[in-house]
Structures are given as C-alpha cells and as structure tokens.
Chains A and B, each alone.
Chain A
Amino acid sequence: MRVARVFPVFSAAFAAIYLAAMYNNLALFSYFPRGRQWFFLTVTDLPRSAGPGMYWYGWLATSFLGAAGIAALALIAPASWIARIARVASWVVPIAVILAVIYILRGWFLR
C-alpha cells in the first residue's frame, strides 16, 4: 500500500478544514505575541493588556491533524475510487475554498 496515493486527499481535506477552522476560529493553540504566551485551543478572553491573539498557527495545526486523519481513512478505501475523486478534488476544493475566503474577507474592502 503506497501512502503517497492519499496525498491528494490530504490536500483537498486540508483546504476544506482550514476554511472551517478560520471561519469558526477552531485553533489547536493560540499565541499572544506581546507576552509570548501560548495556549492550548482557542483563547479569546484574555485582558486587553495581553495584546492581540494570533490563531493562524493553530488553524494550520487543526487543518494538518484533520487532513492527516481523513487521508489515513482514505487508505482503507478502494485505490481506484479514491484516485478518481482526488484527481479533481485536490484542486477544485482549494479553488472553492479560496473563493469562499475572498467572500469572507470582503468586509476589509467594503469599509
């Protein structure tokens, strides 16, 4: 069984999970750069003196773990079936996610 055959599944799943993670702020960990503090999961209720929180690293970690899990599950599915779906999903899903992200961020450009 070649692990590499589920790499395209990982890529499609990563993009979809990243969208969910950033939209719902599902970070595996949070970072507050002013005090160089790291917290497990999403932390938003620190006092103002803690400065702004950064969740991007946590979203990446959430997406990596989730996509790795889905890719591992894809290893037990029939290879030809997975190959046919992943061949399209690996690039169509990221394009759809990019369009969704642009839509989510539209507020920055409409102020």
Chain B
Amino acid sequence: MITTLLIIHALCAVFMLGALTHQTLSVWWPPRAGETSMVARFRAVRGASYTNTIIVLFIATASLGAILYPSYRLAVRVVLEDLRLSAANGVFELKEHLVAIGLGLLPAYWYYWKEPAAENRIAAKALTTLLALIVWYGFIIGHVLNNIRGFGS
C-alpha cells in the first residue's frame, strides 16, 4: 500500500514538475517571433492555462506526502539516524518546510496569474519561480532519500 502511494506521489510530482517547468520557462524565456525549435516550442506555452492544474497537482502531491509521512518518520528517519546520515535528515526537514511554504503560496500564485495586470507581472513571475524551485528540490530530495532506504524495503 505504502509503495503504491509512493509511486502515485512520485507520478503526481513528475506531472507537476513538467507543468511548472513549462510555465516558468514561458515567463522567463519566451520564444522570439519565428523560433520553431523544440526548446522554443517548450517555452511557447500559454502559462496561465497551467495554473489550476499546477495547484491541483501541488495539493494532491502534498496530501499524498502527508499520508506517507508517518511511515517515513517511523521507518526511514530512524534508519538515517542509525546510519548517522544527518545531512540526509536535514535535506528532508528542509523539504517538509518548503512544501508547507509552497502550500501557503498557492493562493497568491493563483491570484496573480488570474489578474494579469502589468503591475502583477513580477509577483507572478517570482511566485512561479519559487514554486518551481520548491518542486524541483522536493522531487530530487525525495528521489535521493528513497534510494538511500531502498525501494519497497
């Protein structure tokens, strides 16, 4: 059951990672007129259309993480402590706090994407970038920690 939830948690994170990376690159590096390369098309998305999906995926991924968290606390963290891998514990602690801050960012993120006035552009860009960094960090750290403990162990 836990392994199934962990896989669903990871899949939701992958979808969110893709959507947020599209959106972030579209605000920081929009394609120039006439650019048709694959990278340019990756950046040419209409960022606003991703907003609701990203919010739903963030909440779903964080909720699944919250369900899995007690298992991590009892089965994984103890092992990391026994192995004296305090940096591994530290990076997970940071992930936990970043996800919490990310959840709090969602209302502002939604608002500034839905109110695309010129004076809101910097806020939308900053919030999108922050969320992307949080999600990338969470994804990489989750993957690394899962590798330390071992799949299904």
Contacts and interface: CB of A to CB of B under 8 A. Distances in A.
A11 B113 CA distance: 14
Nearest to A100: B97
A90 B26 CA distance: 21
B123 interface: yes
Nearest to A59: B100
A67 B87 contact: no
Contact of A11 (B86, B89, B108, B120): B108
Contact of B107 (A7, A18, A59, A91): A7
Interface string B62-87: 00001001110110010000000011
A10 B108 contact: yes
A94 B130 contact: yes
Given A91-B127, A102-B94, A14 B104 contact: yes
B112 interface: yes
Contacts, number: 107
A50 to B, nearest CB: 12
Given A33-B73, A91-B126, A108-B87, A8 B112 contact: yes
Interface in B93-132: 93-94, 96-98, 100-101, 103-112, 114, 119-120, 122-123, 126-127, 130
A5 to B, nearest CB: 7
Given A33-B73, A94-B101, A111 B86 contact: yes
Task: Sort chain A's interface into a size bin.
Answer: 35 or more
A22 interface: yes
B103 A8 contact: no
A8 B120 CA distance: 11
Contact of A101 (B97, B108, B109): B97
A69 to B, nearest CB: 14
Given A34-B74, A108-B89, A56 B69 contact: yes
A27 interface: no
A81 interface: no
23 contacts: A4-B111, A7-B107, A8-B111, A8-B123, A10-B107, A11-B104, A11-B105, A11-B108, A11-B127, A18-B101, A22-B100, A56-B66, A56-B96, A59-B100, A67-B104, A87-B120, A87-B123, A91-B126, A94-B130, A101-B94, A105-B94, A109-B86, A111-B87
